[in-house]
Copies of this chain bind each other. A is one copy, B any other.
Amino acid sequence: MSFTLGEISRLVQGQLNGDPGIVIRGAAIIRDAQVGQLTLADSDKSVARLTDCSAAAVMVRRGTTVSGMASIEVDEVTLSFARAVELFRPRIREAHQGISQQAHVDPTAFIGKRVTIFPGAYVGPQVVLGDDVVLYPGVCVMAGSKIGDRTTLFANVVLYEGTEVGKQVLIHAGAVLGAYGFGYESGTGKHLLSPQSGYVRVEDHVEIGAGSTIDRGTYGPTVIGEGSKLDDQVMIAHNCRLGRHNLICSQVGIAGSSTTGDYVVMAGQVGVGDHVDIGGKTILGAKSGVMSSLSGDAVYVGIPATPHRDQMLKQAAWSKLPEMRKEFKALQKEVEQLRRHLEGRRGEAA
C-alpha cells in the first residue's frame, strides 16, 4: 500500500515542503521509521533526531523548519499523524450494534438510547444506563449501578452493586469497581470484615486503566474526581477521595481513607498510606512512599517521600557514602596520630 506525499498532505490539510510526488509506504515514529516512510517530529528534540532517521518525510507542527527532509506542517500534529498511520493500517472496528441476544439484561434495568451491549455482558436489577453507553463482552454491571451518557466499559469490567459512573468515562478491560474494602476487626484472633455499605463514585471524564481496582467505601463513597486519569493496575482503597484532574500512573496503590487535591500527579509504583491527605498539585516521583500528609504544590520523591531538593542532597551524600566512610577512617587515624604526637611532646615537655 502506498500514497504520495501530496495525497497525505491534502488529507491532513497540511503545508507541504518538498516533492508531492514522493511515494510513501508507511508511517512510523522516528525509532521505528524505515526508508520510504513518513515519520513524526512533534518537538525540537525529535526534530534533532531526524538526522539519524531514514524516513522519506516528516510531519511537524506548523512553523517548524526541517532541513534535509521533505516535511508536512500541520496544526494538530498528533491527530494528523494518527490519520496518516491509519491510512496504511486501517482500523477494523467492532460492528456490533444494539443489545445482543447473548447478553443478559435484567428486565428491571433502565436502558438509554443507542446503548450497545455486546454478547456475554450482564446487567443486573435496577441498573441505569445512560444514552450511548457501550458495554463490551463479559462486562458485569451489578444491581443498582448507574452509568452516565457516552461511557464505555471495555471487556470484562466489573461494577459491584451500587456503583455510580459519570458521563464520558472510559473503563478499560478487567478493571473492578466496588469490591469489598480491606478492613477487619481482629480482636478475637479472627479477622472480621467491616461493613461494606458504601459504594464507588466515578465522576465525569474519568479514565481508568486495565486491571485497576477501586474498592467500595465502608459506609459512603470512594470517589474518583472529575477528569482524573488512572493508568493500568492502579489500586484505590476504600473511602479514598481523589480530587479532579489527577494523573495516577501504573501500579500506584493508595490505602484506605486517603484524599488528594486537584491536579495531583503520581508516577509509577507510588504507595500512599492510609488516612493521608495530599494537597493539590503535588507531584510524587516514581516508587515514592507517602506516610503522612503533604501540603501540596511541590515535588516529592523517595521513601518516605521527601521534597525533591532534600532527596537529591541525600542521594548525593548517599552515593558518596562508601568514599566518605574511607575518608572518615583515615581522618580517625590522623587525629589519633595527632593526639599521640601531642601526648608524646607533652611527655617530653614533662
Contact = CB atoms under 8 A, between A and B. Distances in A.
A219 B173 contact: no
Nearest to A189: B245
B195 A207 contact: no
Which secondary structure dominates where chain A touches chain B?
loop
B207 A193 contact: yes
- Which one of A79, A195, A218, A327 has the highest number of Cβ atoms from chain B below 10 Å of its Cβ? A195
Contacts of A91: 144, 161-162, 197
A250 interface: yes
Nearest to A252: B251
- So how many copies of this chain end up in the complex? 3
Interface residues of A, number: 123
A317 B321 contact: yes
A21 to B, nearest CB: 24
Interface in A323-350: 324-325, 327-328, 331-332, 334-335, 338-339, 341-342
Interface string A48-73: 00000000000000000000000000
A308 interface: no
A79 B213 CA distance: 25
A36 interface: no
